[in-house]
Chain A
Amino acid sequence: MSAAQWRKAMNSGAGRAAISGRPARGQTPVSVVQSGGLTPALAFVRLRHVLVLLALLAFPWLATPFITFQIGAQSLTLGLIALSLTFLGGYGGMISLAQMTVAGIAGYMVAIFGAAASSDASISLGWPWWLAVPVAIAIATLCAAFIGWLSVRTEGIYTIMITLAVGVAFYYLCLQNYSVFNGFQGFQRVQAPSVLGLNWRDPLPFYHLVLFWSLAGYFCVKYLLRAPFGIALQGIRDNPRRMNSLGYNVTAHRVAAYAVAGVMAAIGGVLLVWYNGLIGPGSVGTSWIINILVIAVLGGMRHPIGAFLGAIVFVLLQTFAIDLFDRERFNLVIGGVFLVIVLFSPDGLLGWWAGLQQRFSTMRPTGRTSHRGDSP
């Protein structure tokens, strides 16, 4: 089969079902085949999608500004950065620890090109936000592609090592460079702009801004996974040598995946620096590099929603664990919960969910499994 034919086959409904029929998917394969003939845009919209969207939109009106901002907006922002790792790791087979670094580069660039306060006032250029933000995202994406280009020739643990090295190198660069990154102190008062009469730093507008970009990232990943590029990427994840002999440029696909993930991480990074209002070496240090991995693993890497679920659990624990337990030992709760989730479900929260679903359906004799058995 030539590469073109393979691509074509992958684009047809049957091919898609074949790919997504791997054990990770619950009920999707069946519906994909059924809905193949319908309008593609609406075919995937289900009741639960509408419910979740409504809940997300209604949430800030029911919650306090604190919950909206610190729990809602922070979870979505971290989720967006973790989503870029889920995309790379879950669908490209490349665990990159440099996603927080890419986000940090974007954050630093916003602080450097835009308006920020620092001990050396001459660093920030004070460009308007509509210029600074796209430039920041572009630079971060370029860096992401460069990191990808550096690390795609490695596999498994070596990818982790090289991306970790890049991340730590960037941390030390920020820590010790004073002319551009302002060293240990970094930048303060990096704030979201006021546009259209709205101060985007206020909890409500900021939450919706973050929600918009998180949904955009989520659906972008969902779309990509079914596009030829995403299918090829998953093929490369499963068997790079075969994809290579089929005529795919494995390196190019992987670098492109890094760049795409880089855009998401960069947008997340801009939102994160606006959320915190500051950036410094601590924001891109190893603890945050690891936190992003923890969020992605906690939620589960088998579906893009896992990144956001992981982020919600992570932020809730970080914020409220101190109320649950002895205040000097609350990290025990955080670590314990992480350990329990990963120990009992190697696939994170999504794995738990899938396990529950399966148990539920086997308990009911008229469930999905028996129905499927009838069909041939």
Chain B
Amino acid sequence: MKQSKRRFVRTLAGAAVIAAFSGAAFAQQTVKIGLLATLEGPFAAGGADGMRGAELAIKQKNGMAGGRKIELIKASSDAKPDVAVNATRKLVEQDKVDIMVGPLSGGEGIAVKEYSKTQPNITFINGSSGAQATTLVNPSSNFFRFNTEGAQWMVGLGKAALDKGYKRVMVIAEDYAFPYSQVQGFMSEYCRLGGKVPVKAWVPLGGKDYSSVIARIPKDVDALVVVLGGADAVNFLNQYEAAGGDKPMVGGSITVSQDILNYKGKRRDSLVGTIAGSPIADAYDAPEFKAFVADYQKNYPVSAGGYPSPSLFALVYYINMKAALDGLDAVKGDLSGGQAKYREALQNMTLKTPVGDVKLDSNRQAIGSTFVTEVVKDAQGNLYNKVLRKVDGIDQMLGMPKSEFQMGSRDVPNCP
């Protein structure tokens, strides 16, 4: 014990001397980056793809950033906040990582942000968690988020819905924070431009029976805003079809995913024309995005477990990991002084991402771009998401002054 302590002190003294004499000494040391995603639980597939995205960012730099070698240490959670904090604590306190990237889901993000306040010498960068509160309520000075969140992803959709002639809509969404912010992102624009939302139906996550919701759909609405994920969306669509419903849909960011597009029911054709807001669009044709997709497909072919095209999680983890590495490049690997220079570099940098430039606001939250997409049929009869519009420079206040902005909830915003 004593000996190891003495050795530790010596190592420290040695390190201080080396650091004092030459900046090149950093080249000798590796930078440890902790990576947290969900490899268990409901988002296990998304978490694995998130890890692929983060690894891709490191591979593209050949495992080096700022002249120092990158050592990646992974950890897993199951989308529960307490598990995420335990895993993060292990990475930070036991494995001694310098930079932490993660977690994946909203509740985890808030919990890890709270934990980051107890570790002022470590820099935390978000994975793909998208809760508004993470950077809006009690933000932490060492927690950075280079991805836009749920409400930002829906900007532009309100206008697109009005352009389609939907003057009154009903909202059907799951009853937790992420759909609240998605609905807020849609409604704040939609209501401002004169749209009306007479009914909002909040359904439990993982619900099976939508008959009571379907019965509540008013006759005089023009469309349904459906913010449901994966299986919930398919279940709703099946039951709505069985009930003889025919209103067009407006989708959330995770509603019109591939499993909806592969939907085989009679209403399949009526899906054509469904608009949605999302931070990623498969059909986006900017060269940076195409290069990113090609690189993903080369490194993670479908035969090796990758997706045919990178998922939202892969893209967002890629963006955040790239920010961590670009920041290291900017300070030439200098993490001294409680990582002060590194954080300054992160705060001031303009991050080049496959979907456009990202800057941070004063709460260390991304100001970035999002897409409005529309479902169309290709020559073979397959459905895919076409890019209708790309909206740039969206901040977390959704363009509102800070004094007017309220976080999304069941009742905010409201325009019956």
Is the Cβ of B89 less than 8 Å from the Cβ of A322? no
> A188 and B82 in contact (CB under 8 A), knowing A66-B90, A176-B175, A327-B39?
no
- In the complex, what residue of chain B is closest to A176 when comparing beta carbons? B204
Cβ of B270 under 8 Å from chain A: no
Question: How many residues of A sit at the interface, in one of the four size bands?
Answer: 35 or more
* A240 is an interface residue with CB less than 8 A from chain B: no
Contacts of A278 in B (CB 8 A): 81-82, 85, 111, 114
Contacts of A69 in B (CB 8 A): 89
Q: Nearest chain A CB to B120's CB is how many angstroms away?
A: 15
**Minimum C-beta distance from A132 to chain B (A):** 20
User: Are A175's CB and B204's CB within 8 A?
Assistant: yes
Question: When each residue 33-53 of chain A gets 1 if its CB lies under 8 Å from chain B and 0 otherwise, what string results?
Answer: 000000000000000000000
B80 touches A119 (CB 8 A): no
For B107, give its contact among A280, A285, A287, A319 (CB under 8 Å).
A280
How distant is the Cα of A176 from the Cα of B81 in the complex, in angstroms? 18
Known pairs A119-B409, A175-B204, A280-B81; A330 contacts B76 (CB<8 A): yes
User: Which residues of chain A come closer than 8 Å to B1, judged between CB atoms?
Assistant: 62
Contact status of A184 and B176, CB under 8 A, knowing A70-B89, A178-B410, A322-B76:
yes
B39 touches A282 (CB 8 A): no
Determine whether the beta carbon of B80 is less than 8 Å from that of A185.
no
Which residues from B are CB-within-8-Å of A176?
175, 204
Verify B94–A66 contact, CB threshold 8 A. yes
In the bound assembly, the distance between CA atoms of A185 and B176 in angstroms comes to: 7
Q: Which of B75, B93, B94, B110 contacts A185 (CB 8 A)?
A: B110
Interchain CA distance A177-B110 in the complex, whole Å = 20
Is A303 in the interface zone, CB < 8 Å from B?
Answer: no
Residue-wise interface mask of A (165-197) relative to B, using a CB-CB cutoff of 8 A (1 in contact, 0 not): 000000010011010000111101100000000
Within 8 A of A (CB), among B45-102: 48, 74-76, 78-83, 85-86, 89-90, 93-94
The reply on A276 being an interface residue by CB < 8 A is: yes
CB-CB under 8 A from A287, the residues of chain B are: 78, 80
B407 at the interface (CB under 8 A from A): yes
- Name the residue on A nearest B95 (C-beta): A323
Interface status of A374 (Cβ within 8 A of chain B): no
- Can you name the residue of chain A whose Cβ is closest to the Cβ of B72? A327
- In the bound complex, residues from chain B placing their C-beta under 8 Å from that of A29 are none
Q: Could you say which of A62, A74, A186, A328 contacts B39, with CB atoms under 8 Å apart?
A: A328
Residues of chain B within 8 A (CB-CB) of A186 are: 81, 107
Contacts of B83 in A (CB 8 A): 282
Q: Tell me if A327 and B94 are in contact (CB < 8 A).
A: no
CB-contact partner of A331 in B40, B93, B204, under 8 A? B40
Is A65 in contact with chain B by the CB < 8 A criterion? yes
CB distance from B355 to the nearest CB of A (A): 27
B360 CB to nearest A CB, Å: 23
Q: Decide yes or no: A64 and B93 within 8 Å by CB, A176-B175, A327-B76, A331-B40 being known contacts.
A: yes
Interface residue? B415 (CB, 8 A): no
Decide: B39 and A185 in contact? CB cutoff 8 A.
no
Closest to B40 in A: A331
Q: Which residues of B contact A330 (CB under 8 A)?
A: 39, 76
**Residue B258 lies at the interface, judged by CB distance under 8 Å to chain A:** no
The verdict on A184 contacting B90 (CB below 8 Å), with A189-B114, A276-B85, A283-B82 known, is no
* Residue B375 at the chain A interface, CB threshold 8 Å: no
Residue of A nearest to B179 (CB): A184
Contacts of A64 in B (CB 8 A): 93-94
* Closest residue of B by beta carbon distance from A185: B177
The verdict on B205 contacting chain A, using a C-beta distance below 8 Å, is yes
Is A117 an interface position by the 8 A CB rule? yes
Residues from chain A with Cβ under 8 Å of B330 in the complex: none
Q: How far is the CA of A246 from the CA of B308 in the complex (A)?
A: 72
B410:A184 contact, CB within 8 angstroms: no
The chain A residue sitting closest to B177, CB to CB, is A185
Could you give, for residues 74-106 of chain A, a 1 whenever the CB lies within 8 Å of some chain B CB and a 0 otherwise?
100000000000000000000000000000000
A residues 221-243 near B (Cβ < 8 Å) are none
Contact between A70 and B114 (Cβ–Cβ < 8 Å)?
A: no
Q: State whether A282 and B114 are in contact (beta carbons under 8 Å apart), knowing that A66-B89, A327-B74, A331-B40 are contacts in the complex.
A: no
Contact call A188/B93, Cβ cutoff below 8 A = no
Report A110 CB to chain B, min CB distance, Å.
Answer: 15
User: A105-119: which have CB < 8 Å to B?
Assistant: 117, 119
Asked if A277 is at the interface of the complex by the 8 Å CB criterion, the answer is yes
Tell which of B93, B133, B175 touches A183, judged by Cβ atoms closer than 8 Å: B175
Expressed in whole angstroms, the Cα–Cα distance for A282 and B79 within the complex equals 9
Residue of A nearest to B110 (CB): A188
- Chain B residues with CB under 8 A of A12: none
Check A183–B176 contact: CB distance below 8 A: yes
Q: Does A318 contact B (CB under 8 A)?
A: yes
Per the bound structure, the CA–CA distance linking A66 and B118 in Å amounts to 13
Known A-B contacts A119-B177, A276-B85, A277-B85; the reply to A282 vs B48 at CB < 8 A is no
In the bound complex, residues from chain B placing their C-beta under 8 Å from that of A285 are 80
Q: Once bound together, how far apart are the Cα atoms of A367 and B111, in whole Å? A: 55
Closest to A279 in B: B82
Q: Which residues of B contact A322 (CB under 8 A)?
A: 74-76
Q: Answer yes or no: B262 CB below 8 A from chain A CBs.
A: no
The answer, among B76, B79, B111, for a CB contact under 8 Å with A188, is B111
Q: Give chain B nearest CB distance to A98 CB in angstroms.
A: 19
Which residues of B230-253 have CB atoms within 8 Å of chain A's CB atoms? none
Select from chain B the residue with minimum beta-carbon distance to A327.
B74
B86 touches A318 (CB 8 A): yes
The 9 A-B residue pairs with the shortest CB-CB distance, nearest first, are A184-B176, A66-B93, A282-B80, A276-B82, A327-B74, A66-B94, A278-B111, A278-B81, A185-B177
- Pairs across A and B, CB under 8 Å, 21 listed: A64-B94, A66-B93, A67-B94, A70-B86, A70-B89, A70-B90, A172-B204, A176-B204, A184-B177, A185-B107, A185-B110, A185-B177, A188-B111, A276-B82, A277-B115, A278-B81, A278-B82, A282-B83, A283-B82, A328-B39, A330-B76
Q: Tell me the B residues contacting A by CB distance below 8 Å.
A: 1, 39-40, 48, 74-76, 78-83, 85-86, 89-90, 93-94, 107, 110-111, 114-115, 133, 137-138, 175-177, 204-205, 407, 409-410
Q: A74-B86, A282-B81, A327-B74 are in contact. List 6 more A-B contacts (CB 8 A).
A: A64-B93, A119-B133, A184-B205, A188-B81, A188-B114, A287-B78
